Every structure is written in structure tokens, then in C-alpha cells.
Amino acid sequence: MCKSKIVCDGGNEVENQNPEERKIFLTAERALEIFKQISDEDCLILGMDPRFARPDWMICTVLPVPPLAVRPAVVTFGSARNQDDLTHKLSDIIKTNIQLRNNEANGAAAHVLADDVKLLQYHVATLVDNCIPGLPTATQKGGRPLKSIKQRLKGKEGRIRGNLMGKRVDFSARTVITADPNLPIDTVGVPRTIAQNLTFPEIVTPFNIDKLQELVNRGDSQYPGAKYIIRENGARVDLRYHPRAADLHLQPGYRVERHMRDGDIIVFNRQPTLHKMSMMGHRVKILPWSTFRMNLSVTTPYNADFDGDEMNLHLPQSLETRAEIEEIAMVPR
């Protein structure tokens, strides 16, 4: 709202009690016209580079519609389909836009058009952000607030922190750490339950075929054993569900995904990962119970203590990765 007739020419005039003062609503359309008249030289004075940002670009004239991959429909019991919140909001915007056009074409009163514009502006605003102070929250029929674009992006569970900056990782484990002064400084005690769950792919050669055949015969239920056999054609045999694992005969070139065992190289990490010593290479020692055990002398670089801290373990999946950790990232180095 503004009081200057010169600046606000073209806006909607509003009656006021004071006869000397006229209040005029400054519409977005009029604001866009004013911004477009700002020259590139004046943009530079305002601190904007007109090649990348102009004041008139701050007013939305075109609304991009996100693809269906971003707002998939959820199929519930039977054949019922619940549309995504963004789809509902886009539907409201289209309906209000059509209503505004029809009212304009039919010569509706100025106050009716003003209400339509206000409603359209509300729907566009709540599509982007549904937590604007002073604006009623857009809800579904059941009264649940709609999840806007801003709510999808922000916060710990949002798109940035929840999906892009971090993700779930295979071949990793996490549990509480406890002290064990009897372990060497570069060794981590790993619970047997974790060792039986994580695997390392070993290629079958004439030199190790007997050892790996023994692991395959034991299957997944016994430790140390193996979880999978991958044949040369890529076919994968799951030993967890195979009735007679001992009947499977290995050939050179096959890969056996065996359980983690003593002497394997792993990467040990404590968050927050602030410097390179927050992730270091260790050797594995399989121990009973359910915590990672570590020597007290290695707690300093991790900034770890034993009051409930948890740490992450990553098992490399190739001999190249293993060699790199051994040569570059081991604790003694």
C-alpha cells in the first residue's frame, strides 16, 4: 500500500477517512511495470548485475510445473490413488486461474477480480512456502497441512541434508564403542554378528579355491562362511537360501562374497568428520559381544570417549581400495 499518486498511478484506489490522504493498493502488475523501467545502469548502482539479476525478475510471471517424478501419486488399498500435496496445490492454482480468466471475460465487478487475484496469489505463495506468518495454512480435506516446496527442502529430513548431503551406505556398520587396552593401536574389535553380515568379494584362483570352497560349504549360517557366489556370467547364488551349499563347486574366475574375518582392512570413522584423521584404516579382530572395541590411545584423533559414542565401520570392496587404505590411511601412518 502506498500514499503517492505519482508512483502508484494505475493501482486500485481505496476510500480513506482523511480527505487529504488517498491510499492506493500497489498491485504486483504495477510493481512489475515500475521495476522494468529501472535501467541496467541503475541496477548496477543498486548492487545488482543485470546479466544475472534484475528487480523485475523477483516478481513471478511464469510458474514452472515440477514433473510427476517429483510428486508421484501414492496407490492406497485397492485401486484408490492419493495425489501428492504439490499436485493438489497446482490443481488449485489452475482452477483459480481459469476462474479469474472467466470472470475477466464476463466483465465481473472489480472487487470480484481483486478477490480472485488475491486467492491466486495465496495458492502460489503456499505452493512455495506453507508457513508464512500472518497467512492461513493451506490444508487437505482432512485438515492436514500441505507440504510445500520449502518444507521439502529445509531441515534435517529435507532434500538437502536428508538426501543429498548424506545417504545410506552399503557394506558399513555402526555401533557403540568401548575401550580395550589389550588391542594393538591399529586394530578394531568387531562384533561377530557384524562380521557375519558384512562381506568381501574374493576372486577364485587355483591358489585359494580350496579355502573358498570350505567357506562355501559352511554357508551363511556358520561363521566363518560365505553369503554369495557370483559366476563368470554374472549369475548370483544366494547361499542363505540354498538347500545344499556343499553341492556347489567353485571354478577359477568365480567370485565368493565371504564373511569379514580377522586381518581384514576397514575404514573406521567418528562423526563429525572434521579432519582427515576422523577416518583411518584399521585391521579387524573378531570378538564376542556387541560393541566396537578400540585401544584408548587412538581416541584422540577421533575425539572419541566411551560415554556412549558411536562409530562407523566401512569394509572396502576391492583389493585396490584395500591397498590404498593400507598404504595411505592406516593409523600408524
Question: What domains are defined for the chain?
Answer: 12-58 (no CATH), 74-151 (no CATH), 172-192+263-329 (2.40.40.20), 199-259 (3.30.1490.180)
Band of the pLDDT at 246, cuts 50, 70, 90?
Answer: confident
Predicted confidence (pLDDT) per residue in 287-331, tens digit: 999 999 999 999 999 999 999 999 999 999 999 999 999 999 999
Whole-angstrom Cα distance, residue 311 to residue 320?
A: 24
**C-alpha distances in angstroms, 280 versus 51, 184, 208?**
47, 14, 29
User: Please, are residues 260 and 194 in contact by the beta-carbon 8 Å criterion?
Assistant: yes
- CA distances, 235 to each of 230, 232, 276 (Å): 6, 7, 39
pLDDT of residue 74: 86
The pair phi, psi for residue 230, each rounded to 5°, is: -115, 115
Which pLDDT score is estimated for 17?
62
- Cα–Cα nearest to 267, from 316, 200, 233: 316
The number of residues making up the chain comes to 333
Over residues 193-224, the pLDDT tens digits come to: 999 999 999 999 999 999 999 999 988 889 99
Contact 12/24 with Cβ under 8 angstroms?
A: yes
Confidence (pLDDT) at 6: 41
How far apart (Å, rounded) are the C-alpha atoms in residues 294 and 187? 7
Residues 136-158 have a mean pLDDT of: 92
The torsion defined by the Cα of 122, 126, 129 and 135, in degrees rounded to 10, comes to 60
Q: CA-CA distance, 55 to 95, in Å (whole number)?
A: 29
Helices (H) and strands (E) in the chain, counts: 9, 14
pLDDT score, position 4: 42
7 pLDDT above the threshold of 80: no
For 287, phi and psi rounded to 5 degrees? Answer: -135, 160
Q: Is 0.85 topped by the overall pTM?
A: no
Q: How far apart are CA 297 and CA 303, in angstroms?
A: 11
Look at residues 111, 133, 128 and name the one whose alpha carbon lies nearest to residue 60. Answer: 128
